[in-house]
Amino acid sequence: MSRYIRFRDFDWVLFVFVLIICALGVSEIYSATLHTKFEGMHLKQVYWIIVGVALMFLISLVNYQALLEMVPWLYGFSLVSLVSVLLFGKKYLGARRWIDFRIFHFQPSEWVKLVLILTMAKYFADYTEKELPFRELVNAGLVVLFPMLLVLKQPDLGTTLTYIPISIMALILGGMKAKHGLILLIIASVLTPVAWKWGLKPYQKERIATFVEPEADSHGSGYQVIQSLVAVGSGGMWGKGVAKGTQTQGQFLPVPHTDFIFAAWSEEHGFVGALLLLLLYFGVLMRLIHDAQTAPDRAGVFLIMGVVAVLAFHVLVNVGMVVGFVPVTGIPLPLMSYGGSSILFTFAALGIVMNVRMRRFVN
């Protein structure tokens, strides 16, 4: 089968969109970290991007059907890795999220997103019924629930939330009945007070309370949101220019090269620059949906739409967080925010998309 695979079927338009966003991210990381202790991070980001691109091409060559056959092993390994984080993980700012391998830090929760996309695709690939029975809905939910609980225990609420759109997309494509969706909403509503009281840490509750009224603690938990809003608003129509943002260069804006990179970008490039960046993300998502429509089988559709769900969720939540529409969750902006785990996950996910696309004409 591999002799029929050609890189001419690679989605080069999608690849160009991705590289443009990466280039903008590197330039903004350089600007945001200039004259700070994080100066030089843009070079590390370039290295991660190079490794990510190589990983994408490598994964695109491995038949995704073979990856689906490995799902039981991958899922089991992901659970073991998450348990290992809780037992042996490196603690940073009160959370255990990484395993320290000396030369690099491994964050299993990022890779679990990819495993769950494969798992949901495998689960529903051979399911032929038009409507999904409630029993199957529960089974699929449990598959996602176990890693969610382990990641929430770290605690990492932001990454935990990214698993939800994967399961929702799979259930919708799998044929979930409207009444079952309503039942899930009722259950979620009933469990929300329980999660608030026993499931969330004090600082997570504080973030949600700050989202409602950030001015109540402008020098504490509301500081990030207020400074982010000031940065976005001060950019005006055209922005202040590269390395000229007062909020960013004055270091009033926290972590401008990671979670709040969209705020730093908006301050320096204004409304026009922010709109251009969002249009690039829209182009990426539209290309992905187009590739899903041309997928050769049901599994391919589930794989690509799972990637769409995760990336769309990341963009919406990160941008919403920056402009004060959603609570601060620590979810990075794909391809823009600094971080090796996030970059590698995104390119690995794109590798699976390319994998499916390159096999659309193979019987």
| Rounded average pLDDT over 92-107 | 67
Statement: residue 4 has pLDDT above 70: no
In a domain, residue 234? The reply is yes
Query: pTM here?
Result: 0.90
pLDDT at res. 315: 96
Q: The domain containing residue 10 runs over which residues?
A: 2-358
Each residue of 146-165: pLDDT tens digit? 999 888 888 788 888 899 99
Statement: residue 256 has pLDDT above 80: yes
Q: What percent of the chain has pLDDT over 70?
A: 86
pLDDT at res. 244: 85
In a domain, residue 72? The reply is yes
Encode the chain in three state secondary structure: CHHHCCHHHCCHHHHHHHHHHHHHHHHHHHHHCCCCCCCCHHHHHHHHHHHHHHHHHHHHHCCHHHHHHCHHHHHHHHHHHHHHHHHHCEEECCEEEEEECCCCEECHHHHHHHHHHHHHHHHHHCCCCCCECHHHHHHHHHHHHHHHHHHHCCCCHHHHHHHHHHHHHHHHHHCECHHHHHHHHHHHHHHHHHHHHHHCCHHHHHHHHHHHCHHHHCCCCCHHHHHHHHHHHHCCCCCCCCCCCHHHHCCCCCCCCCCCHHHHHHHHHHHHHHHHHHHHHHHHHHHHHHHHHCCCCHHHHHHHHHHHHHHHHHHHHHHHHHCCCCCCCCCCCCCCCCCHHHHHHHHHHHHHHHHHHHCCCCC
Q: 45-49, 235-239, 308-312: which range is least confident on average?
A: 235-239
Average pLDDT along the chain: 85
In a domain, residue 133? The reply is yes
Statement: residue 210 has pLDDT above 90: no
In a domain, residue 42? The reply is yes
| Rounded average pLDDT over 98-126 | 82
pLDDT band at residue 1 under the 50/70/90 scheme: very low
In a domain, residue 32? The reply is yes
In a domain, residue 336? The reply is yes
Each residue of 5-40: pLDDT tens digit? 667 788 999 999 999 999 999 999 999 888 888 888
Statement: residue 363 has pLDDT above 70: no
Each residue of 258-314: pLDDT tens digit? 889 999 999 999 999 999 999 999 999 999 999 999 998 899 999 999 999 999 999
Q: How many Cα neighbours within 13 Å face the side chain of 26?
A: 16
pLDDT at res. 199: 66
- The total number of structural domains that make up the chain: 1
Q: 137-151, 179-193, 319-333, 345-359: which range is least confident on average?
A: 179-193
In a domain, residue 363? The reply is no
pLDDT band at residue 125 under the 50/70/90 scheme: confident
Torsion, Cα of 341, 342, 344, 348 (10° steps): 130
pLDDT at res. 101: 66
Each residue of 158-203: pLDDT tens digit? 888 899 999 999 988 888 888 888 888 888 888 777 776 666 667 6
| Rounded average pLDDT over 131-147 | 85
In a domain, residue 228? The reply is yes
